[in-house]
Structure 1
């Protein structure tokens, strides 16, 4: 029987302006009432996930920054991983050479060198303001510990940069197209699937005990880890292929699990 339900945020549980469908909130509540635990796995920061929990009136487990941070609902931090200082500086310098907007995420904050109109549009999607710091590199390893570097822009442009950065840093980092306009760079080995694996080990369950839903390429690792995986109908066809089923909304996935007797 199902023991854990995991959802992505942007493009999955969260719609435009961070809106959550009432039907999804009701379905999650019904799931929890059946003693199925709830979790969010997102590229966002943990404090963003906590705000989402408030919106759905639930508590639960959190996998943030694509797996760099894993939190058990009651016991707190289970795992954390950030870029080493020297690698942070090298990666920062490599990304800053491109004429594209970029941001740097730590456990609790998102930093930019300058709040451009593009960043202000991106900031509008977040629950907390972005911090501006022109000398960010100077604080690496002291007060700033990067968990994720993100480039923002048109898909074709950022995918080209992704390829070039990966050619240089591939052995020491992972890269994901987390949104049509965002590419994330995280420490080597980090993924939502690995974060969830650490969580389910803590919970004493297996991948066959969980169901997951997502819409982006950074969701693929977790979609592939369980037979109960759902991709959003808005997802890229290549993402949809990695899931067992395709749905329009989170509540439809939960209803399907119920109808199939999975919980």
Structure 2
């Protein structure tokens, strides 16, 4: 039987206005009310997840920043991961030569930084639900471990981000993980940090097995979760490569939850 349901946020549980529609909202409430464990797994910070999910009164686990932070619903903080300071500062040194990307530095305490705020950066800052801090000496602060970085996000044109992803993977092979997490965003993570790795740790902590988990997502950073369990649902509007790696394709989180509930009923009857 499936006991834990895991959902991505942007493009999955959230619509383009960053809201949960009524049908999905009711489906999640029904699942929690029926005794399912529920988890949000997002590239967003834990503080943002709490803002979005405030109606659920902390009745959910949270995997934030692509697995860099993990929180249990009952006890809070479970685990976190950060970059080696030298690796993060070298990544910034390499990418500083590009002026066509907007770059944010994220930390496990949910603070995030940008080297210089401008009119161009403001729309990207607005997509994040907490305040950004300007710091011109970002690279030096990271190298000195004044800032403990857990995620580097780059915003820009998709084709250019794909090229940057390839360059970073070549230059930092065996040191980082990279994900296209949105149509205009590349996330760079410490090695072996991903939503799937975070989910694996949470599964162990909850005493579950992988076949008792179902996950729902729409982006490449969700594929590591799909690899953890045979019960994976891709959103209908997601990239073909994502849909091809899911066990089912659905139009909504509500439909995925309906299928999960039906699966459990048939499991009991069987």
TM-score for both structures, normalised by structure 2: 0.93
Whether the aligned pair in 2 keeps the contact of 1:53 and 1:59 (CA below 8 Å) is no
Whether the aligned pair in 1 keeps the contact of 2:58 and 2:73 (CA below 8 Å) is no
Whether the aligned pair in 2 keeps the contact of 1:49 and 1:62 (CA below 8 Å) is yes
Where does residue 6 of structure 1 map in the other structure?
Answer: 6
> Which one of 116, 135, 138 corresponds to residue 136 of structure 1?
138
Q: 2:35 and 2:146 mapped to 1: Cα distance?
A: 40
2:177 equivalent to 1:177: no
Give the number of equivalent residue pairs: 263
Where does residue 32 of structure 1 map in the other structure?
Answer: 32
Whether the aligned pair in 1 keeps the contact of 2:200 and 2:228 (CA below 8 Å) is no
CA displacement at 1:146 relative to structure 2: 0.5
TM-score for both structures, normalised by structure 1: 0.95
1:25 aligns to what SS in structure 2?
helix
Q: 1:228 and 1:142 mapped to 2: Cα distance?
A: 40
Q: 2:124 and 2:90 mapped to 1: Cα distance?
A: 25
Whether the aligned pair in 2 keeps the contact of 1:68 and 1:191 (CA below 8 Å) is yes
CA displacement at 1:219 relative to structure 2: 0.4
1:89 aligns to what SS in structure 2?
helix
CA displacement at 1:56 relative to structure 2: 4.5
Deviates more, 1:81-90 or 1:189-198: 81-90
Root mean square deviation, CA, Å: 1.5
2:196 aligns to what SS in structure 1?
helix
2:30 aligns to what SS in structure 1?
helix
CA displacement at 1:59 relative to structure 2: 2.2
Q: 1:9 and 1:195 mapped to 2: Cα distance?
A: 16
Q: Deviations over 1:177-234 (max 9, x none)?
A: 0011000110001111110000010000011111100000010110122121100011
Q: Deviations over 1:73-117 (max 9, x none)?
A: 112222211011111211111121212221111121221112234
